[in-house]
Structure 1
Amino acid sequence: MTSFSDFPSLRFGIVADPQYAARAPHLGMNRHYAKSLAKLAEAIEVFNREDLSFVITLGDIIDRDFESFDDILPVYGSLRHDNFFLLGNHDFSVAADRLVDVAKRVGLTSPCYSFVRHGWRFIGLNGNEVSTFAPPEGHPYRDIAARRLAELRAGDAINAQEWNAMPSDEQFAWLSGQIEDAGATGERVIVMNHYPVYPPNEHDSWDRERIITLLTAHDNVAAYLSGHNHAGNFGTLDGCHFLNFKGMVDTETENTFAIVEIWADRMEVRGFGREDSRMLKLRR
């Protein structure tokens, strides 16, 4: 007799960093921007054959130019599952007068949000909120970003990079409240952001320490999913898994994407192409 525990409670698809643009490849970085349209279409074909709750792209939908959205967003039109986006640093490599239009262009009423599926709360962060590139010119967050970057550089921090960023204090308080609310209702939590925070890497969010402290302090937080570091990364701290998925834009022909399955006692990552497969125990 088959029991309910013999099946995952939910499955979802992951895409990281398609970074599409109609431009020549950067061979030195092995990035093939125009190839991402076909790679994404291939991933969606796989997703459409699966019983998934949703698919999420972890940022850097485009490499540059607002017009690039016109080419890649229609590819998602064939997806038969709910579709979610996070925004990455490259999504704001657009003309200054289009910065305020980026979130709306990909269908986001808010660049940070949460939703619940089968007792799991998924929290999507706006990792670009405090940055030198995403806020409109003259916005106070640009000044805060410049100061934070200077502090990190003074301390020789490896993530003291202009292409990193962080959520605002207000968004961090919102994240904390979301986790507390989820705990009160018996929900487990997965947090998603474009920027990784662990293991330490030059691509990490500027506030990596406070995010790590928050997530590891709550037993109901199972995982933190990110992109941005195209090489990928993985680590576990105090039972919380930190998964950095590999960038789709890298390599001329080999794809990378994943399907994540949530079971009662574990989370399984089924990697395609360059993405690694993993079996991760849940801490409660």
Structure 2
Amino acid sequence: MSSTALPLFRFGIIADPQYAAIPPHAAMDRYYANSLAKLAEAIEVFNGEELSFVMTLGDVIDRSFKSFDDILPVYERLRHEALFLLGNHDFSVSAGHLSEIPARLGMPSPYYSFRRHGWRFVVLDGNEISTFAPPEGHPHRALAAKMLADLQARGERNAHPWNGALSDEQFAWLGDEIAGAAAVGEKVIVMNHYPVYPAGEHDMWDCDHIVALLAAHDNVVAYLNGHNHAGNYGKVGACHFVNFKGVVDTETENAFAIVELHPDHMEIRGFGREESRTLVY
């Protein structure tokens, strides 16, 4: 095997377990309680591989802060580092718990970045401007209500209360992270719960703004997300936009992936309903 055939490193991806100890929603094909067994199955596969980390792309739970007590212990079986980002359903908890979600998931902050093997991973909080995540009375909640009303008035397809946007501060931080990575020769992978491309009803309210920023920098090779459980894929400029399928969907079929990074391409090995892809950069 030539050296180019060996990946630089690998990591695991899980999207939307949306666990809750509740009956399934058969019409939506969502089996909330079954996500514990599916997650355990995915972890068994991950533990058989050399991985740098495993990222869950949001919606660890479907509802109730107590749901974390059932699903987070399953992650303790993982022999690799478990990393998280925030999804909309993670905030389907009582108001008193809203500010506790990042700490409950062991996150350093609602959005953050980290480096692995000369690559930079930028983790966004797509719920920052939303009608559900900010505490009652927070200016971000009022701003979200206005943004949503404007989108609805224009008839935009992503004008839904279960989407959100980045604050100006977080957007500027994203730009700084990308520029900082470029200055030291790092390729960038951005991760978020929400899609931004191709256009669809699950997209961030400020998706065009985000896509324009990512496509303007050729060191940004990929944007990885969940939220749209059907999955999706698109490309703008040098950036691949990969929407991973949701674990919670279907009674028994799983959906997760192992991503292998090579100097010139990314290999996504899909398991269960997740598709395998070779993405060149």
For the aligned pair, the TM-score class normalised by the smaller chain equals: over 0.9
Whole-angstrom distance in 2 between the partners of 1:116 and 1:168: 23
Structure 1 residue 3, shift from structure 2 partner: 4.7
Asked if residue 179 in structure 1 is aligned to residue 159 in structure 2, the reply is no
Whole-angstrom distance in 1 between the partners of 2:139 and 2:65: 24
1:25 counterpart SS class: coil
| Matched residue type, 2:221 | A
Q: TM-score, normalised by structure 1?
A: 0.98
Partner of 2:10: 11
Cα shift readout 1:45-72 (whole Å, capped 9, x = no counterpart): 0000001010000000000000000000
Whole-angstrom distance in 2 between the partners of 1:169 and 1:45: 40
Asked if residue 266 in structure 1 is aligned to residue 265 in structure 2, the reply is yes
Partner of 2:193: 194
Whole-angstrom distance in 2 between the partners of 1:82 and 1:128: 24
Partner of 2:219: 220
Gaps of 5+ in 2: none
Tell me the number of residue pairs that the alignment of Structure 1 and Structure 2 aligns: 281
Cα shift readout 1:170-190 (whole Å, capped 9, x = no counterpart): 000000000000000000000
Whole-angstrom distance in 2 between the partners of 1:109 and 1:272: 29
Structure 1 residue 154, shift from structure 2 partner: 1.3
| Matched residue type, 1:149 | L
Whole-angstrom distance in 2 between the partners of 1:98 and 1:137: 12
Partner of 1:254: 253
Partner of 1:244: 243
Structure 1 residue 136, shift from structure 2 partner: 0.5
Whole-angstrom distance in 1 between the partners of 2:103 and 2:27: 33
Whole-angstrom distance in 2 between the partners of 1:24 and 1:71: 16
Q: TM-score, normalised by structure 2?
A: 0.99
* Cα RMSD, aligned residues only: 0.7
Whole-angstrom distance in 2 between the partners of 1:267 and 1:29: 32
Whole-angstrom distance in 2 between the partners of 1:151 and 1:186: 40
Alignment of 1:86-165 (within 5 A): 86-165=85-164
2:76 counterpart SS class: helix
Structure 1 residue 31, shift from structure 2 partner: 0.2
Whole-angstrom distance in 2 between the partners of 1:47 and 1:259: 8
Cα shift readout 1:162-211 (whole Å, capped 9, x = no counterpart): 00001111000000000000000000000000000000010000110010
Whole-angstrom distance in 1 between the partners of 2:28 and 2:131: 23
Whole-angstrom distance in 2 between the partners of 1:260 and 1:18: 18
Whole-angstrom distance in 2 between the partners of 1:102 and 1:240: 30
More deviation, 58-67/103-112: 103-112
Structure 1 residue 234, shift from structure 2 partner: 0.4
Whole-angstrom distance in 1 between the partners of 2:9 and 2:174: 23
Whole-angstrom distance in 1 between the partners of 2:147 and 2:225: 21
Partner of 1:20: 19
2:241 counterpart SS class: strand
Whole-angstrom distance in 1 between the partners of 2:65 and 2:207: 29
Whole-angstrom distance in 2 between the partners of 1:228 and 1:170: 23
Whole-angstrom distance in 1 between the partners of 2:121 and 2:100: 24
Whole-angstrom distance in 2 between the partners of 1:28 and 1:92: 23
Whole-angstrom distance in 2 between the partners of 1:168 and 1:239: 25
